[in-house]
Structure 1
Amino acid sequence: MSIVKIKDKSFKISITEAEIKERVKAVAQQISKDMEGKNPLLLGVLNGAFMFAADLMREMTIPCEISFVKLASYQGTTSTGKIKEVFGINEDLTNRTVIIVEDIVESGLTMKQMIESLGTRNPASIHICTLFFKPSKLKEKINPEYVAFSIPDDFILGYGLDYDQQGRGLKDVYTIIE
């Protein structure tokens, strides 16, 4: 299935399931190496990062825990620029190593807000791990330490990412066809 139609838009495969698995494993290995001797808390950002967070955790070779936070900033194919926390974290973050697991970092606004919010809870450190990074769209001084793919400014879906809540279950990642 190289082209899919979701609602009123068409998308073509840009990253295969095999490529995703390979990069997720590589990122998990790097985190496992960097965090050796620690028990990091993976903090997955719902809804988009749920598949990535699960696959990442399965590939890690060190003890770790996972929790989720739900933020919303998208409508259709564009970010609204306004982030609202829908539900947050119950864990005590004092002296914890926290790794935010995000599906995609574009402007950096969501990550900036999360880092500021998490910082008030006294973690030992906060790290960013993202499946996709669009460096050309960055507006905030955010430096994701763990990036599976740096991509151009195209709208994508699949592997957890959606278009109006559709397409999340696709195993490959698809790019919009203009």
Structure 2
Amino acid sequence: MLGSFPPPKKRWSIDFFYPNMQNDMWRIFGLVFFDNKDYFVDTAHKRFNKPLLETFLREKGVALYDTACAVNRLQDNASDKFLEVVEHTDIDELLHLLPHCHAIVTTGQKATDTLRAHFAVAEPKVGQYVNFEFEGRNMRLYRMPSSSRAYPLALEKKAAFYRTMLECELDI
């Protein structure tokens, strides 16, 4: 799964991917796998449960990273609209490190645009994928809705898109 870039550090609840408590990624995963949006929430400390997330993702074979290694934030917020990519992530190198990877999931428009430009593939509709080839490896590029609360879709509807993709890719 590839997002664009983390929010400013002051918004982090944990030192991990999707660290902002206002982001719904871990609530989406809680709904999809445990029918509990707060499964990965450490309510007492107002943060996500990083050890639980790391163990869970490792067991499921889900890798996370960003499509950019360096950015300029043109405003003091997490919006991709005001995000200037200074250095793109070496996606080819990531795929070399993950030889069994057969699907890339983007979690928003900026990440999708970055991957589409890199692989020269058509844009999938939200919740769908397009096939492409990487060095003889058949791949899928999924375009998922953003987990940001700024994205105008109810949590349960976002989770339904992710559930469909995860059922296909992880046999859940």
The TM-score normalised by the length of structure 2 is: 0.35
More strand by share: 1
More helix by share: 2
